[in-house]
Amino acid sequence: MTTLSPRRLFRSLAVAEAITWALLLAGMFLKYVTGTTELGVRVFGMVHGVVFIAYCLTTVVVAADQRWSLSRTALGLAAAIPPFATLPFEVYAERRGLLGSAWLSAPDSPSAVQRAVSWLLGHAALALGLAVLAVGGLTTAALVVGPPVG
């Protein structure tokens, strides 16, 4: 069994976020340009929203574990906003050695966030469940608030 490294986890979510952007943009094209259907926006908008939240949570976890600066963490989070920007950010992070092949957090890490990451890594099944609950809860909150009004 292969270990899910910070590099692999981050790369997977960065690529998924870009793919869901493409799907959402295709849905928007069908809705606003061709006027044929809004189903693409409904379906791909929801999928993109869920993956967007998962990417942001992953960015925070990887940033804490790999000890990114606050500005790099903010840049990683901001990369989820423009279409496809997670891809160049992932390349940037990889080239600068920000995505390790191993997790750095340990039970005796200096920060509470790093200790929490260490605890989650030691309880993978529970961590996965918590991640699903977090993404689901944040998605539900976003649905309750509703889309931005422009």
pLDDT at 149: 60
pLDDT at 120: 86
pLDDT at 1: 40
Q: Answer yes or no: is 26 within a domain.
A: yes
Q: Answer yes or no: is 91 within a domain.
A: yes
Q: Answer yes or no: is 149 within a domain.
A: no
- Domains in the chain, number: 1
**pTM of the predicted protein model:** 0.88
Q: Answer yes or no: is 133 within a domain.
A: no
Q: Answer yes or no: is 33 within a domain.
A: yes
**Cα separation values, 121 from 61, 69, 126, 139, Å:** 11, 21, 9, 24
Q: Answer yes or no: is 134 within a domain.
A: no
Q: Answer yes or no: is 109 within a domain.
A: no
Where in the sequence is the domain holding 26, given as residue range(s)? 6-102
Q: Answer yes or no: is 1 within a domain.
A: no
Instruction: Write the DSSP assignment of the chain as a string of letters.
Output: -----HHHHHHHHHHHHHHHHHHHHHHHIIIIIS-S-SHHHHHHHHHHHHHHHHHHHHHHHHHHHHT--HHHHHHHHHTTSSTTTHHHHHHHHHHTT-S-SS----TT-SSHHHHHHHHHHHSHHHHHHHHHHHHHHHHHHHHHH-SPP-
Tens-digit pLDDT string for the chain (150 aa): 457 899 999 999 999 999 999 999 999 999 999 999 999 999 999 999 999 999 999 999 999 999 999 999 999 999 999 999 999 999 999 999 999 999 988 888 888 888 888 888 888 889 889 989 998 998 888 888 887 665
pLDDT at 44: 94
